[in-house]
Structure 1
Amino acid sequence: MPGMPSIRFVKLSPAALHALVAGDLATAGAEAGVAMSRYLADERWLWEIRLQDIAKDPEAADWIARAAVDEDTGTVVGHGGFHGPPDADGIVEVAYSVDPAHRRRGYARAMLTALLERADADPRVTAVRASIRPDNVGSKATIAGFGFFKIGEQWDPEDGLEDVYLRSKRTTSGR
Structure 2
Amino acid sequence: MGESASLASQYVSPYLAGPDCIGLWRMRSQQIEERPSDAAWITRLIVDPDITVAVGAAGFHGAPDAAGMVELGYRVDPAFRRRGYARRSLETVLAVAQRHPDVRTVRATVSPDNAASLALIDSYGFVENGEQWDDEDGREIIFETPA
TM-score between both structures, scaled by the size of structure 1:
0.76
Residue aligning to 2:101: 123
Name stretches of at least 5 consecutive residues in structure 1 with no aligned partner: 1-18, 170-175
Give yes or no for contact 1:25–1:37 (8 Å, CA) kept in 2.
Answer: no
Give structure 1 regions of 4+ aligned residues with deviation exceeding 4 angstroms.
Answer: none
Distance 1:64 1:106 in 2: 21
Per-residue CA shift, 1:71-96, capped at 9, x if unaligned? Answer: 33322110111100101111110010
TM-score between both structures, scaled by the size of structure 2:
0.90
Residue aligning to 2:60: 82
Kindly state the Cα deviation for residue 159 of structure 1 after the two structures are TM-superposed.
Answer: 1.4
Residue aligning to 1:41: 17
Give RMSD over aligned pairs.
Answer: 1.8
2:104 aligned partner, one-letter code: T
1:25 aligns with 2:1: no
Instruction: State the number of aligned residues.
Output: 144
Give yes or no for contact 1:25–1:41 (8 Å, CA) kept in 2.
Answer: no
Distance 1:119 1:71 in 2: 24
1:154 aligned partner, one-letter code: Q
Residue aligning to 2:116: 138
Give the structure with the larger helix fraction: 2
Distance 1:162 1:94 in 2: 13
1:61 aligned partner, one-letter code: A
1:165 aligns with 2:124: no
Distance 2:100 2:70 in 1: 11
Per-residue CA shift, 1:125-152, capped at 9, x if unaligned? Answer: 0010000111111110111221100010
Residue aligning to 1:69: 47
Distance 1:119 1:105 in 2: 24
